[in-house]
Amino acid sequence: MKLETKFWHKVKKNTPKIDWVRIESWASFGVPDLLGYHDSCGFFMCELKIQRGNKIIFSPHQMLFHMTRKFRNFILVEFHDNQQNAPAPRSIKLYESSEIQKLQSNIPDAKIAAQDDWTAIQATLLGETTNAL
C-alpha cells in the first residue's frame, strides 16, 4: 500500500467526528484530496501531503487553489525521514491554506495549526480551537 493511501486511512480513523469524502485528483486539477463535513462547521477541504527531504511539492494548480481559497481549507503533512523504508512518520502537522507558499519555499517558516495530536488536529479542522499549539 502506498504511503498516501496509508495516510488517508490514518486520517479517517483518527478524526471520527468528521465525515470525509476522498476526491479523485484527476477529476479536477488542484482540488484538495479530501472534503470534510461536520454539522458544527459545514464543509472544508484538506490536502494530504507526504514529505521527504527538504521540500513539499505542490503543483501550480494546488498552489492556485490554496492561495485563492484560504478560508476553511487545510494542508495536512506527514513528515518522514529521508530513508525509503522508514517504519513510521516522524511528525504530522496541520497548516492552514494561507501557509502554502511558506511550505513550498521554507517549511520552518510556516505556522503550524496543530501537530502530532489527532484530537487537536480534529478540533482545529472543526474550528473548535483557534490555536492548538
pLDDT of amino acid 32: 82
The mean per-residue pLDDT over the stretch 3-11 comes to: 91
User: Which comes out higher in pLDDT, residue 64 or 99?
Assistant: 99
Residue among 123, 129, 58 nearest 97 (CA):
58
In a domain, 132, yes or no: no
pLDDT of amino acid 81: 76
In a domain, 58, yes or no: yes
- Looking up cell 496509508 gives 6
In a domain, 43, yes or no: yes
Residue among 124, 46, 112 nearest 79 (CA):
112
Predicted TM-score (pTM) of this structure:
0.86
Residues of the chain with pLDDT > 90, as a percent, come to 47
In a domain, 54, yes or no: yes
Number of domains in the chain: 1
72 Ramachandran zone, left/alpha/beta (phi>0; psi -120 to 50)? left
84 is in which domain, residue-wise? 3-125
Residues 6+ apart with CB under 8 A from 101: 63, 67
User: Which comes out higher in pLDDT, residue 35 or 66?
Assistant: 35
